[in-house]
Chains A and B, each alone.
Chain A
Amino acid sequence: DAKTTQPPSMDCAEGRAANLPCNHSTISGNEYVYWYRQIHSQGPQYIIHGLKNNETNEMASLIITEDRKSSTLILPHATLRDTAVYYCIVRVVTGAGSYQLTFGKGTKLSVIP
């Protein structure tokens, strides 16, 4: 799977949008971009994923650049409960049920009151 690069930490004011960038310049055509987050002392939680179109769900929006070399996770109205480590992962969806997730160090997002 392609490697990703994320800033080690970011701050965001409560109520403002949090924009978390991810660089995946070596992504290949059959690799999807996934975002997970890990709140302190909990297991990682799936947020959203996409291939090349922008995606939105009840938690967040995912914006993928046209060349697919980078993406941004957007939390539209950050709350204190969004303080967590956010992981950007790219993985091949092969059509088989078997896959592993390759985590980097992620971005530690701190939402400030």
Chain B
Amino acid sequence: DAGVTQSPTHLIKTRGQQVTLRCSPKSGHDTVSWYQQALGQGPQFIFQYYEEEERQRGNFPDRFSGHQFPNYSSELNVNALLLGDSALYLCASSLDLADYYNEQFFGPGTRLTVL
């Protein structure tokens, strides 16, 4: 059973460019969350997608947007890149269950470097 997969592994962009990161959730999961992890910090929640809609959003500007497809995979888009957007971007998948045991499973992340 494949876990959460993300692509690409690494990415280098320049300021002002746009980037798209991709995530395939764990088999059977229908909910995808995205987190940004700056160097030396814990992950910070960006947003969560369920049923192809953004359901929750953290404190991130509108330059950060996303999409979820009918097969539950997801994309994270960042426009007008800033140097401060350099980070590890993590995708986590889960089941939309009203359940104590509903865990988020994380992918390995995409390392984005903005020059």
Which residue of chain B has the shortest Cβ distance to A102 in the bound complex?
B45
Which residue of chain B has the shortest Cβ distance to A43 in the bound complex?
B106
Does any Cβ of A come within 8 Å of B15's Cβ? no
Which residue of chain A has the shortest Cβ distance to B46 in the bound complex?
A100
Flag the segment in B50-58, B66-74, B75-83 that touches A.
B50-58
Interface of chain A: mostly helix, strand, loop or mixed: loop
A contact residues, range: 20 to 34
Determine if B102 and A97 form an interchain contact, defined as CB atoms under 8 angstroms apart: yes
26 A-B pairs with CB atoms under 8 Å apart are A32-B100, A41-B108, A42-B109, A43-B90, A43-B106, A44-B92, A46-B104, A97-B31, A97-B50, A97-B94, A97-B95, A97-B97, A97-B98, A97-B99, A97-B102, A99-B102, A100-B33, A100-B45, A100-B58, A101-B35, A101-B43, A101-B92, A102-B45, A104-B42, A105-B40, A105-B42
A interface residues, Cβ below 8 angstroms from B: 32, 41-46, 85, 87, 93-106
